[in-house]
A and B are shown apart, each in its own frame.
Chain A
Amino acid sequence: MSAMTPAGDYRTSYRADMTIMATRNSRIALALGIALACAAPFVLDGYMLDLLVMIGIFGIAALGLNILVGFTGQISIGHAAFFGFGAFASAYFHEHGVAVVIAIPLAGIATAVVGLVFGLPAARLKGLYLAIATLAAQYILEDFFARAQWFTGGVAGRMTESPTIAGWVAGRPESFFYVVIVAVILMFGAAANLMRTRDGRALVAVRDHYLSAEMMGINLAYYRMLSFGIASFYAGIAGALYAHYRLFVSVEAFTILFSIQFLGMVIIGGLGSIAGSLMGAAFMVLLPEVVEGLANLLTGSAIDRALRLGASISFLREMAIGAAIIVFLVFEPDGLARRWRLIKAYWKLYPYSH
């Protein structure tokens, strides 16, 4: 990444080396971006805002998974189950008299605890063994959701309410959008800062070479579990937001396909990139819309009749998700984040690109 900084941009102190926003322009761009996002509800219609809210929520969950997969090098195929646990936990807390604003972080903590329990094997396992263990976690938690009627409402699912802050109800996409913006800024800021701390760097060391990391005094078991806990916390927060946005949590929603979608977001956005998590989430949310749009374009044509596009739109979406994951892995393994850096570098270094 440092190779991308233009010539003459030297860092002369440790402080300068550790800043999140390296230049004044990037700080201005971030402020402008947040201001633009806050203005979005005045310009866009409910449907577009709904998509943006989903991008924000999934972005938070994908960021959690990225901390686990991209920064620590552990893999989890059960992220949707933790996302679902957060959703049910928040709805459960709210029903027992906790205000939504407090129930959401509480749900995050509860999910982190569950994540730590399933992270116990993660302390010893890595790579494909962990992938298989989390696959088991996915099915066990799904089974638990269907079984635990007191917690999830069983087959009927569970209803919840919108967040209320001092009389202001964030019920519609226009108002919930601001809740999501605040959550996104908090969670992404926390992650960006985490990666500058001792713990964050220890996670990266575990990913890069775990034997060297262990020899340097990093407790492997502790950091693997910590990373699992953080990932579950993010999933829990995102799940809780999802529950209080959709106002209904169904037992069947958190399938393995959902988990794979989160992994897809991380890979498409870029492993080990914080901003990439949001890009990946945006890609995954918009991809089905694009597929549906293309299918609608062909409605009534010969291709549509021959291939039954309209009736099988959900299968087309799933295929698009699978194909996107494979295409990115083969052709752009570093994801959208790298592409974005290349574009930025192109303009920064123009016209002398070397």
Chain B
Amino acid sequence: MDLTLLLPLVLNGLIVGALYGVVAMSFVLIYKASQVVNFAQGEFLLVGAWVCWWFLTDWQMPFWMGFLFTLAFMTCFGIILQVVVLRPLIGEPVISVIMATVGLSIFFQALMKWIFGVFAKPFPPIFSAQSVDIAGLQVQPVYLLSLGISLFIMAGFGWFFTASKHGLAMRATAFDQQVAQSLGISVPKVFAMSWAISAVVSAVAGVVVGVVNGVSSALSFYGIKVFPAVILGGLDSVVGAVLGGLVIGVLENLAQYLDAEWLHWGNMYAIAPFYALVIILMIKPYGLFGTRNIERV
């Protein structure tokens, strides 16, 4: 066993996994509040990263300003999507809702390719690229920053859902829409807000990935990788989403390690999470922390 290779892989897995966790959280947020499975989550990252890139390069804004503009844009983007596309579909069967988000996904993927081209473009340098020494490992500061941002967002979610008024309203809506409505919570507002928050948080993750790897349509694959994470954690559990993201992040790096050392199958990094997904669905479809849906007649 080559431990000098294994340790950085696990660390890398945790950093990427934390990002998966963030995206998974914003996915769970939408699902919890409005019972919509959002297949366009990856496109939120994509749109957010491209818009931020556009502000920074074409408009020559400083990073903090472009970033704030991106967040404002994504807020409007999320609300508009919810109002225009998802609101008319309330009460339709789950297949229609899934298909609508799938349609959104390919629409925005193609739109971004049309506007910004198919090639990956790097962000303008934001930090001095001097690697930091942690326990004998050389780590790029952007990775540390990405880990920090992920932890910050997770803490923010924790505060939002336990202490803030809007977060409590959202949890009440997720628990029972009719009861929430009779208590004076505006359910349409909660839906719109959940989409806005989800879009903003995903865009932050998108910008972070864009700063590290450059912006390209590969970003939307994060939206697909989210599924193993949320299924593992349980579709309606925020804690489960974070944990699932971390596990999947480490898993794909370990799969790559196994593959490179012994199996030599190739492509395990991309495909291992999906094998895990099928196995989880067979054994425990409600995940680690998900609510078990018991049906009585």
A: residues with CB less than 8 A from B are 69, 73, 75, 77, 120-121, 124-125, 127-129, 131-133, 135-137, 139-140, 143, 146-147, 211, 215, 257, 260, 263-264, 267, 271, 308, 312, 315-319, 321-326, 329-330, 333
- Please state if B100 and A318 are interface contacts (CB–CB under 8 Å): no
- Say yes or no for B138: interface residue by CB 8 A criterion: no
- Please state if A315 and B89 are interface contacts (CB–CB under 8 Å): no
Nearest CB on A from B271, distance (A): 5
- The residue from B103, B228, B270, B274 contacting A264, defined by CB atoms under 8 A apart: B103
Chain B, range 62-105, C-beta contacts under 8 Å to A: 85, 88-89, 92-96, 98-100, 102-105
- Please state if A140 and B271 are interface contacts (CB–CB under 8 Å): yes
- Say yes or no for B106: interface residue by CB 8 A criterion: yes
- The residue from A136, A318, A325 contacting B109, defined by CB atoms under 8 A apart: A318
Chain B hits for A75, CB < 8 A: 94-95, 98
Looking at A128, A264, A333, the one whose CB has the most chain B CB atoms below 10 A away is A128
- Please state if B92 and A333 are interface contacts (CB–CB under 8 Å): yes
- Say yes or no for B295: interface residue by CB 8 A criterion: yes
- Please state if A319 and B231 are interface contacts (CB–CB under 8 Å): no
Q: State the CA gap A264–B99 with chains docked (Å).
A: 8
B: residues with CB less than 8 A from A are 37, 85, 88-89, 92-96, 98-100, 102-111, 113-114, 224, 227-228, 231, 235, 265-267, 270-271, 274-275, 277-278, 281-282, 285, 295, 297
Nearest CB on B from A340, distance (A): 20
Chain B hits for A137, CB < 8 A: 278
- The residue from B93, B267, B281 contacting A125, defined by CB atoms under 8 A apart: B281
Chain B hits for A143, CB < 8 A: 267, 270-271
Q: State the CA gap A315–B281 with chains docked (Å).
A: 34
Name 20 A/B residue pairs within 8 A (Cβ), A-sorted: A75-B95, A124-B285, A125-B285, A128-B235, A131-B98, A133-B278, A136-B228, A139-B270, A139-B274, A147-B266, A271-B95, A319-B110, A322-B108, A322-B110, A323-B103, A324-B103, A325-B102, A329-B103, A330-B88, A333-B92
Q: State the CA gap A267–B85 with chains docked (Å).
A: 16
- The residue from B107, B114, B278 contacting A312, defined by CB atoms under 8 A apart: B114
Summarize B's interface: helix, strand, loop or mixed.
helix
Looking at B85, B107, B228, the one whose CB has the most chain A CB atoms below 10 A away is B107
A-B contact count (CB 8 A): 125
**Complex: chain B residue closest to A267, CB-CB:** B99
Chain A hits for B285, CB < 8 A: 124-125, 129
Known: A318-B109, A321-B106. 4 other contacts (CB 8 A): A125-B281, A128-B98, A263-B102, A318-B106
Looking at A125, A136, A147, A329, the one whose CB has the most chain B CB atoms below 10 A away is A136
Chain B hits for A322, CB < 8 A: 103-108, 110
- The residue from A136, A263, A315 contacting B278, defined by CB atoms under 8 A apart: A136
Chain B hits for A124, CB < 8 A: 282, 285
- Please state if A329 and B96 are interface contacts (CB–CB under 8 Å): yes
Looking at A120, A317, A326, the one whose CB has the most chain B CB atoms below 10 A away is A326
**Complex: chain B residue closest to A307, CB-CB:** B114
**Complex: chain A residue closest to B40, CB-CB:** A322
Q: State the CA gap A264–B89 with chains docked (Å).
A: 16
Closest 3 CB pairs of A and B: A322-B107, A325-B103, A318-B110
Chain B hits for A147, CB < 8 A: 265-267
**Complex: chain B residue closest to A331, CB-CB:** B88
Nearest CB on A from B128, distance (A): 37
Nearest CB on A from B107, distance (A): 3
Q: State the CA gap A328–B95 with chains docked (Å).
A: 13
- Please state if A139 and B271 are interface contacts (CB–CB under 8 Å): yes
- Please state if B267 and A326 are interface contacts (CB–CB under 8 Å): no
Q: State the CA gap A226–B88 with chains docked (Å).
A: 33
Chain A hits for B104, CB < 8 A: 322, 326
- The residue from B96, B108, B295 contacting A211, defined by CB atoms under 8 A apart: B295
**Complex: chain B residue closest to A214, CB-CB:** B297
- The residue from A140, A263, A326 contacting B275, defined by CB atoms under 8 A apart: A140
Chain B hits for A321, CB < 8 A: 103, 106
Q: State the CA gap A215–B295 with chains docked (Å).
A: 13
**Complex: chain B residue closest to A211, CB-CB:** B297
Looking at B37, B104, B110, B297, the one whose CB has the most chain A CB atoms below 10 A away is B110
Given A125-B285, A135-B227: A140 touches B274 (CB 8 Å cut-off): yes
Chain B hits for A77, CB < 8 A: 102
- The residue from A131, A260, A324 contacting B37, defined by CB atoms under 8 A apart: A131
- The residue from B88, B100, B113, B224 contacting A315, defined by CB atoms under 8 A apart: B113
Nearest CB on B from A327, distance (A): 9
- Please state if A326 and B107 are interface contacts (CB–CB under 8 Å): yes
Looking at B88, B104, B113, B114, the one whose CB has the most chain A CB atoms below 10 A away is B114
Nearest CB on B from A225, distance (A): 14
Given A135-B227, A322-B104, A322-B106: A315 touches B94 (CB 8 Å cut-off): no
Chain B hits for A271, CB < 8 A: 95
